[in-house]
Amino acid sequence: MPEFGLAATRWAARVCSILILGTFLYFLAGEMINPHSGPPSGFREWAGLVLTLTSIASLVVAWKWELTGAAISLATLAAFVCVVRMNRYEVVIIAAIPGLLFLLDWILRRGMSHQAAQ
């Protein structure tokens, strides 16, 4: 793959991660300024919150270590679906896009380094 394609994949992942992080922070700020509900009360709510925060934090990690950040992000999203039992998978799929792009970037760059070594 040309170098432009590798750079485009990496920056698409980074832009998507910024959009996901920004959206999360927007909702968090809105909830802090004008709360609509109390703090999490049950295990599923706390687990969902921790898994969401971990998934978003791992997208920041993926800027430096693509595979590690992508794997943690996608694994925590899978755990989120299992624990919270959401009915709206569209939201999870959108949240998974940066992790998938970081994983694709890692795969493409690894393939390029193996080709260069031969």
What's the confidence (pLDDT) of residue 101?
96
Label residue 118 by pLDDT band (50, 70, 90).
low
Which residues, in sequence order, are CB contacts of 60 under 8 Å at separation 6+?
17, 21, 69
pTM of the predicted structure, to 2 decimals: 0.84
C-alpha 30/C-alpha 75 separation (Å) is: 27
Parent domain of 54 = 3-34+41-117
pLDDT tens per residue across span 9-57:
999 999 999 999 999 999 888 888 887 777 778 888 889 889 999 999 9
Give the chain's domain count. Answer: 1
